[in-house]
Chains A and B, each alone.
Chain A
Amino acid sequence: MARVRGKRLKGRPLRRYALFIALAGLFGVLLLQTSPRLRAMVDPTRAMAADQLASSARPGLWDQITGKAAREARIRELEAQVRELTRYRSVAISMAARLEAYEEMLNVMGEPPVRGVTARITTETNGPFREAILVNAGRLQGVEEGAYAENEGGLVGRVVQLGERSARVLLVTDFNSRVPVMGEASGLRAILFGDRDDLGTLTDLPERGDFILGERVLTSGEGGIFPRGIVVGEIVQRGGTLRVEFGMRDSQGGFVRLMPSMKIPTPEAFPVQEAPSEETETAASEGAEPQGAQNPGAP
């Protein structure tokens, strides 16, 4: 007991000395930092530690909890995208001007300017029946029969039912949808339809050649419903077969743009009107003259 007590008494002054030594040491460190040279040596380490601990650039814990950090990251990402797109826009403007000039030179019959309606998806049906969406724009908003819908990811579907204020769009992912497509790189044509596993299946494939894995699938413009060149998806491989991953799945923004379908009238609808021949014109004028002769006094 006495031994333990003795140990305690011994330990106490040691701790006390340690406290004084630590205080003196820390004070010494403080004093040393009054020297600019020593401070300059310490500063880089300090800055690094501060970066780790309290840098304002790093999102705080509260920001992470409230999601502010994620929002700010998203804003930065979107700003970068806007900068990139601004660059593309200027390139596109110059290219459009050049294309216009070429078309004028070559006398190309250009496509009519597109006008579309952006609508909100109000209802989505993807049960065992049809995969379709209901959008809040109809005939009154300028949606036309047979219009097709697209979002940022690509082709969404086509209008199968048109109301005054709403329209039902059959999705390309539906089993009953048939979209004539082509490979962007391979140029091969096929018909695409939706399947049970959220991937598209290609049918009516050409006998020779095959789609390239990873290439984009675009509408081929055949059939006259979808214009050529709309992105539908990308070729992926599943279970040894090439399938199409739909691009529309990438952006689930809740809005679609309804574009009028490509309406190219058949030749029969607008037959060429025969220009009146010279003989007919003469006969007509001859037929008209006697009338004047019969009434010479007419004014």
Chain B
Amino acid sequence: MARRRDQGAVSGISRLWREAGPTSRLIIGFLMVALVGIVGLTPKSLFDQELVWPYAALVAAVGWGRSGVAFRPMVLLVILGVAQDVSAYAPLGCFGFINLSVFGLSAAFSRAFDRERAPIISMAAPVVLYAIAFSLVWLLASFASGHVVQVSPLISAMVVTYVMHMLMAPVFDLGRRIVPLTGSMV
């Protein structure tokens, strides 16, 4: 009985999410990124072990990018980028540039290879995108600081970001689909 009730609640949420428009989805996604970011500003240690925190804005960039290029996600990504710049003491525009790059690449990737939302592409594409994003972070950080920065923390952050992507990707789905190519089975 309780199981059925739980299933009912889950299906209710999924129904609500299905019916939600891109604007609501965008707001929810933005709030989610802001929440993860704010929690990330706090000391992150568990049992005296420093925790690696994900780059939630990149997850948003990848997720929103899959629905194609749009103005509002771009504006939000720039805003999030400024917040990231300030909190990470990066040069202004650095994270905005990275976020927008990943967003554009994600849109281009989806347009080129992921029109049918094939699971294999959905799994592999973010890995490539995050690899590019973290390479950019490494590159810009190395340029900004005047020396080659460590790679291992960035790899850890990338892994954690990918884990977060797997868990939260549906939140960053705006519900719009890039039109499948003419003659496809979908």
Report the separation of the CA atoms of residues A49 and B94 in the bound assembly, to the nearest whole angstrom.
16
Q: How would residues 130 to 161 of chain B score, 1 for a CB under 8 Å from any chain A CB and 0 otherwise?
A: 00000000001000000000000000000000
Kindly list chain B residues whose C-beta atoms are within 8 Å of the C-beta of A50.
86-87, 89
Pick from B41, B94, B96, B107: contact of A53, CB below 8 A: B41
Given contacts A27-B97, A50-B89, contact A19 B41 (CB under 8 A): no
Q: Is the CB of A54 within 8 A of B41?
A: yes
B-chain residues with CB within 8 Å of residue A270 when the two chains form the complex: none
8 A Cβ contacts from B63-81 to A = 68-71, 74, 78, 81
User: By the criterion CB–CB under 8 Å, are A19 and B43 in contact?
Assistant: no
Q: A53 touching B83 by the CB < 8 A rule? A: yes
Stretch at the interface among A10-18, A103-111, A146-154: A10-18
B60: interface (CB < 8 Å):
no
> By CB atoms of chain A within 10 A, which of B74, B92, B96 has the most?
B92
Give A112 to B95 CA distance when docked, in angstroms.
74
Residues of B in contact with A, size category: 20 to 34
Kindly state the separation between the CA atoms of A46 and B38 in the bound complex, as whole angstroms. Answer: 18
Q: How far is the CB of B37 from chain A (nearest CB, A)?
A: 9
Please give, as numbers and ranges, the residues of chain B lying within 8 Å of A60 by CB-CB distance. 41-43
Tell whether A23 is near chain B: CB-to-CB under 8 Å: yes
Q: Which residues of chain A have C-beta atoms less than 8 A from B170's C-beta?
A: none
Contacts of B68 in A (CB 8 A): 12, 15
- Interchain CA distance A20-B41 in the complex, whole Å: 31
CB of B86 within 8 A of CB of A23, answer no
Cβ–Cβ contact B140 & A30, under 8 A: yes
**Hey, which chain B residues are within 8 Å of A46, CB to CB?**
86, 89, 92
The residue from A15, A22, A63 contacting B100, defined by CB atoms under 8 A apart: A22
Q: Taking A19-B104, A50-B87, A54-B41 as contacts, is the C-beta distance between A29 and B93 under 8 angstroms?
A: yes
Query: How many Å lie between the Cα of A43 and that of B168 in the bound state?
Result: 35
Q: Which residues of B are found within 8 Å of A25, using beta-carbon distances?
A: 93
- A129 interface residue (CB < 8 Å to B): no
Contacting B at CB under 8 A, from A34-54, are: 42, 46, 49-50, 53-54
B residues in contact with A54, CB < 8 Å:
41, 86-87
Interchain CB contact under 8 A, B42 and A30? no
Is A22 within 8 A of B38, CB to CB?
no
Q: How far is the CB of B44 from chain A (nearest CB, A)?
A: 8
Q: Whole-angstrom distance between the alpha carbons of A126 and B36 in the complex?
A: 49
Residues of the B chain whose Cβ atoms lie less than 8 Å from the Cβ of A16: 69
B89 proximity list for chain A (CB < 8 A)? 46, 50
A53 touches B86 (CB 8 A): yes
- Measured in the bound complex, the distance between the Cα atoms of B68 and A299 in whole Å is 133
A53 to B101, CA, bound (A): 25
Question: Do A26 and B96 form a contact, CB below 8 Å, given A18-B74, A19-B74, A50-B87?
Answer: yes
Q: Is A118 an interface residue (CB 8 A)?
A: no
Counting from the closest, the 8 A-B pairs by CB-CB distance are A29-B93, A60-B42, A62-B42, A26-B97, A26-B93, A15-B69, A54-B87, A49-B86
